[in-house]
């Protein structure tokens, strides 16, 4: 991880930065929101894994992430698994939403995966009305 690096050693492994780069390339969320995502995630797994948004930007910008654009041409049937997950973008004004029962500000992530090859076929991000 730190072989050949000049200066202070990295605090976060390359796999962790690759995971965050994958999250960034799929969801297109700003780096400051990724920092908030990590803080919430660290509370769930009982580990301190929060990285500063500038660290995320510097490390992710040095990596290359390529997602396949199309599925392969095959004659066999393709079995696709589709999953939907909701993500709350902000906590601002949460007490007003609960008081007036106005639910807004979330996004939905639709992911389609080929079961046999585990290839990501489609990723769609929509608002909460879909």
pLDDT tens per residue, range 9-60: 667 777 888 888 888 877 788 888 888 888 887 777 666 677 888 888 988 8
> Does 2 fall in a domain?
no
State whether 57 and 75 are in the same domain: no
> Does 48 fall in a domain?
yes
Contacts of residue 56, Cβ cutoff 8 Å, sequence gap at least 6: 17, 20, 24, 31, 34, 35
| Domain encompassing residue 60 | 9-66
**Residue 67 pLDDT exceeds 60:** no
Q: DSSP string of 62-93?
A: TS------S----SS---EEEEEEEEE---TT
Question: Structure pTM?
Answer: 0.45
Instruction: Return the SS3 of 114.
Output: strand
DSSP 126: E
Per-residue pLDDT of 78-100, as tens digits, reads 788 888 888 776 667 777 777 88
State whether 58 and 72 are in the same domain: no
State whether 38 and 89 are in the same domain: no
H-type alpha helices, the chain: 14-27, 31-45, 53-61, 94-100
Contact, 10 vs 2, CB < 8 A? Answer: yes
State whether 58 and 71 are in the same domain: no
State whether 91 and 59 are in the same domain: no
> Does 1 fall in a domain?
no
State whether 59 and 101 are in the same domain: no
- Domains: count for the chain: 2
């Amino acid at each position: 991880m730190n072989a050949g690096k000049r200066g202070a050693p990295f605090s976060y492994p390359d796999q962790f930065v690759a995971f965050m780069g994958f999250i960034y390339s799929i969801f297109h969320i700003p780096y400051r929101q990724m920092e908030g995502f990590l803080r919430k995630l660290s509370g769930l797994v009982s580990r301190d894994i929060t990285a500063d948004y500038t660290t995320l930007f510097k490390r992710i910008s040095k990596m290359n992430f390529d997602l396949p654009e199309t599925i392969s041409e095959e004659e066999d049937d393709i079995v696709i698994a589709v999953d939907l997950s909701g993500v709350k973008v902000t906590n601002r004004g949460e007490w007003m939403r609960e008081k007036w029962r106005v639910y807004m500000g979330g996004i939905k992530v639709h992911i389609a995966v080929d079961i046999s090859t585990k290839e990501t076929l489609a990723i769609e991000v929509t608002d909460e009305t879909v």
